A and B are shown apart, each in its own frame.
Chain A
């Protein structure tokens, strides 16, 4: 192995040792309620949720607030600064920057969410099978992971991108998911190794429960907390990767827009017409910020002993 997996103790948390906070024990709350209660106390986390909700609202309702669509061209307004008719101004060919930014935000948000879920699922399957079965399955999976760690995801997707020009954007989502799961899979692998030793797994095995069921019903639910946190973090990473690729024209293809293509289009004239890229960039930063704050708050809520608790 060329690369070492993350330290398991950094993420592994023993569910049976979940500290029961005083006063809560007597009320017999479910785990979900407990987590929600702790989450609610985290002001930054709640602000993140509110922000993300607002962004979603804006991305899907925003386009209907103005009568311009992202493809419309206003022949009377080229490169006009923000005004009442064009809230975020217009670009070189008279397109409304607000409508375009909303459309881009929509794309980036949807892509981020899809990739977060997909890539964590792939990581769960690869990591859990490697840890559970051991032997050649483990070797093959771990070798694939170290091979993929050698090749940055950006590089591979850029190489495949010439084929994306005429393809649906869903293919792009799939690609992003396929190349983003590696680090997560390493962590899940080490989590599985230690969970495998537990009695309930052995009991299930001796009762003749098929491996697929053990992994799906017993192993993965026991790492649900890590999976949820990781999916959240991956959403942010996916948005960053997507916009980065789109920036170079390797991702979302025109006439469709994402926050990345908008920033790229604006960069050329960024110096004189800053509204072309500042709005798109601002929304991009806020989106990723909201997601990462939520991820942090989730970690604190689900796993009160985690190290970032101190932050």
Chain B
């Protein structure tokens, strides 16, 4: 077991390094940080542009491999370098990582829990009205991109606020600027800011999980061992939830791993639209500013998260499936 885990960790680290390297090299070919200085008025002399670009290790006159070596040397020491404005990436990242992780954490839990519940509910009432309603809801949600959901939520929130005449839901930022008060006021303020972005990423997840959970549950419900369990005298409820649901959850772990990349991209849209200062919004911003170092740093963060999610999926599977644990 230890050897297996070690091998997975080693492959994981290798994949992250390769992915980040790829992102750095790709960005070095497609982006020209020099453009940021060329359009200035009055024009900046070329020598001082070169000097500035050298300081941030993004000068296109230096060979790519040399820049890569400098950058990689920093990464090994845990230093991500500086952004185009010359500020330390480590410092900014420290602030932004938390924002994104919180959004992803709450969003994926809400999405997974409600998705699974909807799926189970639908499977137990197959072809009933509620089942059909859930099916239609999930088909629509799966066809709606996150950015459109987010814009619609924003629009809906505004209507609600106007209708009630009070600011119930906020749609910009993570907290109100300069808010003071008791812990309770601060908490309520955070929740008011949190609801819409969480919904924006969780609704799609919910739809996805409810579809898969429903079909997995239906498979299990038709199986012989469940009939046997009922024949032995267990109650319907007990067989469904203790024996049925547990087995039907196993395939979900795989979908969790595969859908996590989509979830991260969804969080990126959400952060931009609701102006949350997270990693995703930073990535979009850095592509627009042609900031190679930040692009590489955000890519590394994404790669680590994706790999961590596959690891987490394995852990869940081991918990649910005794064959995996002992096998």
Identify the A interface with B (CB < 8 A): 1-4, 6-7, 146-147, 149-152, 154-156, 158-163, 183, 236, 240, 243-244, 247-250, 263-264, 267, 270-271, 274, 277, 281, 284-289, 292-293, 307-308, 310-311
A292 touches B142 (CB 8 A): yes
- Report how far A247 CA is from B265 CA in the complex, Å: 13
5 pairs from A and B in contact (CB 8 Å cutoff): A2-B11, A155-B265, A158-B283, A285-B140, A288-B144
Tell which of A149, A236, A271, A277 touches B306, judged by Cβ atoms closer than 8 Å: A149
Chain A residues contacting B258 (CB-CB under 8 Å) are 3, 183
Output the nearest chain B residue to A156 by Cβ-Cβ distance: B26
Beyond A310-B215, A311-B135, 6 additional pairs, beta carbon < 8 A: A151-B302, A162-B290, A244-B269, A271-B158, A307-B215, A307-B219
Identify the B interface with A (CB < 8 A): 8, 11-12, 15-16, 18-19, 22-23, 26-27, 29-32, 126, 135, 139-140, 142-148, 151-152, 154-155, 158, 211, 214-215, 218-219, 251, 254, 257-258, 261-262, 264-265, 268-269, 272-273, 283-284, 287-288, 290, 295, 299, 302-303, 306-307, 310
Tell which of A150, A155, A288, A311 touches B307, judged by Cβ atoms closer than 8 Å: A150
A161-B287, A311-B215 are known contacts. Are A151 and B19 too (CB-CB below 8 A)? yes
B23 touches A152 (CB 8 A): no
A244 touches B144 (CB 8 A): no
Chain B residues contacting A3 (CB-CB under 8 Å) are 257-258, 310
Main secondary structure of the interface of A (DSSP, over half): helix
Tell which of B12, B155, B219 touches A270, judged by Cβ atoms closer than 8 Å: B155
A150 touches B31 (CB 8 A): no
Tell which of B126, B139, B215, B254 touches A292, judged by Cβ atoms closer than 8 Å: B139
How many contacting A-B pairs (Cβ < 8 A)? 136
B287 touches A159 (CB 8 A): yes
B27 touches A159 (CB 8 A): yes
Output the nearest chain B residue to A290 by Cβ-Cβ distance: B143
Main secondary structure of the interface of B (DSSP, over half): helix
Chain B residues contacting A156 (CB-CB under 8 Å) are 23, 26
- Report how far A149 CA is from B16 CA in the complex, Å: 11
A159 touches B295 (CB 8 A): yes
Chain A residues contacting B284 (CB-CB under 8 Å) are 158, 248
Best-buried of A147, A152, A159 by chain B (most CB within 10 Å): A159
A285 touches B147 (CB 8 A): no
A281 touches B152 (CB 8 A): yes
Ranked 10 nearest A-B pairs via Cβ: A288-B143, A289-B143, A152-B261, A154-B265, A163-B30, A150-B303, A281-B148, A150-B19, A310-B218, A162-B30
B273 touches A151 (CB 8 A): no
A158 touches B307 (CB 8 A): no
A4 touches B254 (CB 8 A): yes
Tell which of B12, B148, B219 touches A263, judged by Cβ atoms closer than 8 Å: B148
Best-buried of B126, B154, B254, B287 by chain A (most CB within 10 Å): B287
Output the nearest chain B residue to A289 by Cβ-Cβ distance: B143
Output the nearest chain B residue to A286 by Cβ-Cβ distance: B143
Chain A residues contacting B272 (CB-CB under 8 Å) are 248
Output the nearest chain A residue to B265 by Cβ-Cβ distance: A154
Q: In the complex, what's the smallest C-beta–C-beta distance from B1 to chain A, in angstroms?
A: 17
